[in-house]
Amino acid sequence: MKNATLILILVLGFFLRLHYAHLDPYLHAWDERYHALVAKNLMDDPLLPLLRAEPLVPYDDKAWCCNHIWVHKQPLFMWQMAASMAIFGVSEFAMRYPSVLMGCLMILLCFRITMLLTQHWMTSIVAALIMTTSNYHLEQVSGWIGMDQNDVAFSFYILASIWAYAEFKLKNQIIWALLVGVFCGLAMLNKWLTGLLVFLPWALLSLYHFYTEKKVKMIVPIFLALITSFAIFLPWQVYLFHQFPDLARYEMTYNQRHLSEVLEGHGGSAVFYLERFPQYFGTQLYLLVPAGIWVAWYHRKRGDLALNFTLSLCLLVVLFFFSIVAQTKLPSYVFIIAPIGFIYIAIAINALFDLLPTLSSKQPC
């Protein structure tokens, strides 16, 4: 029965995403049309990212919207889109299919991470169901929300790295540590260094154990994982700087400017992302994110303390970094930690249901 329920949710999640991928038979203005065109051109040469394959008029090679060689974003998600179009034919729908698959797998990852954290099946099912029906995520799959397939892939690989780390903490097998490195490397190959997110809590926990237990072996897995990440991420960067040195340097500088400047008018206050919590998590339901964090820590003996620390720190660091440090703000920057929010919402909902019998028993007859 339990397995059947999870399978039903996965099937629902798949067909929901497939439906959203087929909603609009056209490319959306921001940023899907650019991603799709570069992905289509990558079908001819995966190592040559082109926007306008044969520019007929003069262009500014630094203008990401209008240039020839397009290295404005990392290529993995566009390689995935190109592969999908090679299989299913060139269309708006085929271009979105990798997001359908990754979005469906994120449901399973949410379930497993919640199960490892809480050891509670119903809480895990609720987390999976919230991930299944996340409107913001579905709109990303459809291409309607800016950065679309790029952020779906980025979110997937970050969540996969957290899952692999949770499995490593449980099983203490080096294969899981290496898998963390693989997923982090793929995450960076989708966007940038935020893909290393899980290494922050892992490093802090490793240093703590190294300090308390004085064993070098405590920090070996994280170094192996980090080496694996950069072994995946760096070859493309070396290739870019070798093939297109001026453009690669410009794009790296441009990426760094997101921290210190408001680029292209995308500014906002320190509460820019907090104000969008209802959009990320649902009206009223977003209030359960902090409630779930409090419940998870209050009842920390019920769950995995290290995993709870990892999830909480990842959520808070991303929120703090993009709210306070980064001056350029876009709604989807913080949505990468939304699955963690879904997990804490599920924990809060389960806690509320646990309270119901207690509250009922206190009612006067």
Overall average pLDDT of the 71-78 stretch: 96
* Distant-in-sequence contacts of 182-186, Cβ < 8 A, 24+ apart: 182/228, 182/229, 182/232, 183/157, 183/158, 184/157, 184/225, 184/228, 184/229, 185/228, 185/229, 185/230, 185/231, 185/232, 185/233, 186/76, 186/157, 186/232
Tokens representing residue 217 in the block: 């072996």
Give mean pLDDT, residues 214-218: 76
Specify the pLDDT at position 82.
98
C-alpha torsion 167→173→176→182, nearest 10 = 160
**pLDDT tens track for 276-330:** 999 999 888 999 999 999 999 987 655 588 999 999 999 999 999 999 999 999 9
In this predicted model, which residue has the larger pLDDT, 217 or 300? 217
Rounded mean pLDDT, 38-67: 92
Q: What is the mean pLDDT of the chain?
A: 92
Residue 196, pLDDT > 80, answer: yes
Mean predicted confidence (pLDDT) in 27-52: 95
Q: What is the mean pLDDT of residues 250-278?
A: 92
pLDDT band at 260 (very low <50, low <70, confident <90, very high): very high
pLDDT score of 59: 85
* This prediction's pTM: 0.94
pLDDT-based confidence at residue 365 (cuts at 50, 70, 90) = very low
pLDDT digits over 116-150, tens only? Answer: 999 999 999 999 999 999 999 999 999 999 889 99
Tell me if 235 sits within 8 A of 185, measured CB to CB: no
Position 359 pLDDT exceeds 70: no
